[in-house]
Amino acid sequence: MWPPGALEFLRELEDNNDRAWFKANRARYDRDLVEPAKALAASLSHLGGARLFRPYNDARFSNRPPIKEQLGVAIGYGPAGGYYVELSLDGLLVGAGLHHGAADQIERFRAAIDDDRKAEGFERALRDATDAGLEIIDPELKRAPRGYRVDHPRIEHLRRKQLTVYRRHALERWLHEPACAARVRTELDATRALVTWLAEHVGASQLPRRGR
């Protein structure tokens, strides 16, 4: 999977984060990070097409460094979410679901959670993911959303706005072995029911793009 040189590159990038250094070391980036990521994505093609995030930050509106210090890959990602893998010095992040849903998507999610049959499907899909070692982000809202009672049997889900599950792996030796791709595949396969549920019951946002 990713060679030790991938982590060496990220460590050096952390100390040399500028476009000139990155340009001089672009071949290393492509060889040690991009090519293994493409190979991983190919092994996950049953989940959908892959998109590698560009390495450059848009620094016009922030104080972020010019080069991203992580490599992110979205797989099978559509209007209602999908799958994601990210390698950084913080570890290997494996995730799935809908990140930053629009207001109408969150409303449809809540309506589905308020429905016993639909909610059962969500909770079953969530168990599949957690049984595989992933966890769901804690609810953002402190109280029940407007229109729902505080003693609702699924109040914890109703308080959610981030509809994603994830697992962050430490940087260990298996990242450099074929076991890495197998482990990622096993974990993402366990989230397929969740991604399918979101597509069926949340769907794409119908809001104008500028309103998202």
Q: What is the pLDDT of residues 43-82, one digit of tens each?
A: 999 999 999 999 999 877 678 899 999 999 999 999 999 9
The torsion defined by the Cα of 210, 161, 68 and 5, in degrees rounded to 10, comes to: -150
* pLDDT tens digit sequence for 94-117: 999 999 999 999 999 999 999 999
Report whether 165 contacts 96 (CB < 8 A). yes
Q: What pLDDT score does 212 carry? A: 41
Determine the Cα–Cα distance for residues 160 and 181; give it in Å rounded to an integer.
Answer: 30
The predicted pLDDT at position 160 comes to: 97
Q: With the C-alpha atoms ordered 93, 95, 101, 107, is the resulting torsion angle positive or negative? A: negative
Q: Would you state the pLDDT for residue 107?
A: 97
Q: For position 63, what pLDDT does the model report?
A: 82
* H or E segment to which residue 126 belongs: helix 116-131
pLDDT computed for residue 172 by the predictor: 96
| Residue carrying structure tokens 């093609």 | 45
**Cα separation, 144 vs 146, whole angstroms:** 6
Residue-by-residue DSSP string for 137-203: PPPS-SSPPTTS-TT-TTHHHHT---EEEEEEE---GGGGSTHHHHHHHHHHHTTHHHHHHHHHHT-
Domain boundary assignment for the chain: 4-211
Q: What percent of the chain has pLDDT over 70?
A: 98
- Say what the pTM is: 0.93
Averaged pLDDT, 196-210: 91
Amino acid at residue number 78 = G
Residues 9-16: what's their mean pLDDT? 97
The answer to whether residue 16 scores a pLDDT higher than 70 is yes
**Quick one: fold of 4-211?**
BirA Bifunctional Protein; domain 2 (3.30.930)
Residue showing tokens 């402190």:
142
pLDDT digits (tens, 9 = 90+) for 180-194: 999 999 999 999 999
What are 153-183's pLDDT values in tens digits?
A: 999 999 999 999 999 999 999 999 999 999 9
- What pLDDT is stored for residue 211 in this prediction? 42
- Cβ pair 50, 41 in contact under 8 A: yes
CB 197 within 8 A of CB 21: no
**What is the structure's pLDDT at 64?**
87
Round to whole Å and give the CA distance between 68 and 14: 9
Is a pLDDT exceeding 60 seen at residue 140? Answer: yes
Q: Note the pLDDT of residue 37.
A: 98
Structure tokens at 141: 């809202």
Question: What's the chain's average pLDDT?
Answer: 95
Beta strand 70-78 with 81-88 is antiparallel
* Mean pLDDT value of segment 32-37: 98
